[in-house]
Amino acid sequence: MGKEAENKDAERERQRNIKPYMKYSGLAFQMIGAMVLAAWLGMKLDAYFGNKNPWFTILLLVVAVVASMVLVIVSLNKKQ
């Protein structure tokens, strides 16, 4: 019976250690997804409005980067 309790404690500790890695790797994929979506939408808007310069692409990418950084900062502060 004591061995089973040790196994359960070890499993809980392992899951607790893995959890932050999964959280932050998911955050990285969200950042990548937001930037890809912003770039795609910006290119579509630039093509639709016939812009010579990619203003919508640049603007939406900057917004996506800022929003992603805010999300990371909030997530890191929530941890502490």
Report whether 16 contacts 30 (CB < 8 A): no
Task: Give the C-alpha separation, 68 to 72, whole Å.
Answer: 6
AA identity, residue 44: K
Task: Convert the pLDDT of each residue in 3-50 to its tens digit.
Answer: 666 677 777 776 676 677 777 788 889 999 999 999 999 999 999 999
Task: Convert the pLDDT of each residue in 20-30 to its tens digit.
Answer: 777 778 888 99
pTM exceeds 0.85 for this model? no
